[in-house]
Amino acid sequence: MQGIAFGPTIRLLRQAKGISLRELARQLGVSPAFLSQIEAGRQHKIPRARIVQVADMLGVSEGYLLGTAKQVHPDLIKFLSETPEAAEFMVSAMRGGLSAEDFTQLREAVSDRRRRATLLRAGSVAARRRNGSANGLDGYLDSTLCLAGVGVQSKGRLFQRFAKLLTKKRKGVSADLVVERLERREHLSPTSVGGGVAIPHAFVPDIDTPVVGAFTLKRSISYGTLDAERVKTVFFLVGREGRPEDHLPILARIARLCSTPEFLHVFGTAKTSREIYKTILAWDKRISS
């Protein structure tokens, strides 16, 4: 594992799962001190069997774990360790399906001073949200992209339906390209996050500001690689190409919403597009205050 950020990646994924260091160490059958050494990057001789075990405990594949570790540049790790607010957003975003490829774009953002400052400001929302001054999803959620009881038979049809709606309002944006970018992201790893929820997201040219939409489906559809992995609640995020620092906090807010069972229950009972729109904004404000 020498030369890649294996330990820090384990720490980020562990935090995203809400597992304490002591608990993961117990599950792995190692001492907390030994696991701490691994997460700090001071222990490099890790057998493959142990890597497979760690990946299984964290709910990801071995390939995802290693692929992500290879993409987490030291500059990004340093920035996150120095900036707890940005790290909080990143951990939340990982719940929403942040991929190894996304880390490359984040690394580039961190290397640019102005874009690094933007990511820092976005991260500082975590500190401000306690007094209700944080910017919410209302600046990105499009009511025309909120639909109840959508009848589609597959993930591909789902993406086509969303892309068609999006490009009606975003002139100059290609529906085919939107679908292609969403599918490309899914190829890295499905963006289903459990509980019948998926958060497909992508970067698309000619999108000036990030756009969020949400569907409830009439019937659940097969979404992941397993037939049992079915989805009935879908949030979409289409971000501005080359601006991962804008994308990250929005993805984190959506992931935080979708990890709230009470919200999912209310959201699932919405009968109209207007109800979906109002429910998202009300609960986004509630859980962020």
Q: What is the CATH number of the domain that holds 6?
A: 1.10.260.40
Residues 251 and 94: beta-carbon distance below 8 Å:
no
Write out the residue range of the structural domain in which residue 38 sits: 1-72
Are residues 153 and 66 both part of a single domain? no
Establish if 131 belongs to a structural domain. Answer: no
Q: Which amino acid is at 125?
A: V
The pLDDT assigned to 40 comes to 85
Residues 190 and 158: beta-carbon distance below 8 Å:
no
Establish if 278 belongs to a structural domain. Answer: yes
Query: Residue 134: pLDDT band by 50, 70, 90 thresholds?
Result: very low
Average pLDDT, the chain: 82
Question: Per-residue pLDDT for 227 more than 50?
Answer: no
pTM above 0.75, yes or no: no
Question: Per-residue pLDDT for 224 more than 60?
Answer: yes
Residues 228-282 pLDDT 10s: 578 999 999 999 887 777 787 888 889 888 888 899 999 999 999 999 999 999 9
| Mean local confidence (pLDDT), 211-237 | 86
Are residues 277 and 143 both part of a single domain? yes
- Which of 45, 72, 99 is the last residue in one of the domains? 72
Are residues 150 and 43 both part of a single domain? no
The pLDDT assigned to 223 comes to 87
Q: Does residue 265 or residue 3 have the better pLDDT? A: 265
The pLDDT assigned to 132 comes to 38
Percent above pLDDT 70 for the chain: 78
Establish if 49 belongs to a structural domain. Answer: yes
Are residues 145 and 283 both part of a single domain? yes
Give start and end residues of each alpha helix (H) in the chain: 6-17, 21-28, 32-39, 48-58, 62-71, 74-82, 84-95, 100-111, 113-123, 125-128, 155-169, 175-188, 244-258, 261-268, 273-288
The pLDDT assigned to 189 comes to 72
Establish if 183 belongs to a structural domain. Answer: yes
Establish if 118 belongs to a structural domain. Answer: no
Establish if 98 belongs to a structural domain. Answer: no
Among 19-28, 81-90, 115-124, name the most confident range: 19-28
Are residues 141 and 61 both part of a single domain? no
Establish if 132 belongs to a structural domain. Answer: no
Q: How many domains does the chain have?
A: 2
Query: Residue 146: pLDDT band by 50, 70, 90 thresholds?
Result: very high
The CATH number linked to 226 is 3.40.930.10
Among 89-103, 110-124, 205-219, name the most confident range: 205-219
In the beta sheet, which residues pair with residue 234? 198, 215
- Which of 23, 40, 72 is the last residue in one of the domains? 72
Question: Per-residue pLDDT for 287 more than 70?
Answer: yes
- Which of 21, 55, 72 is the last residue in one of the domains? 72
Establish if 236 belongs to a structural domain. Answer: yes
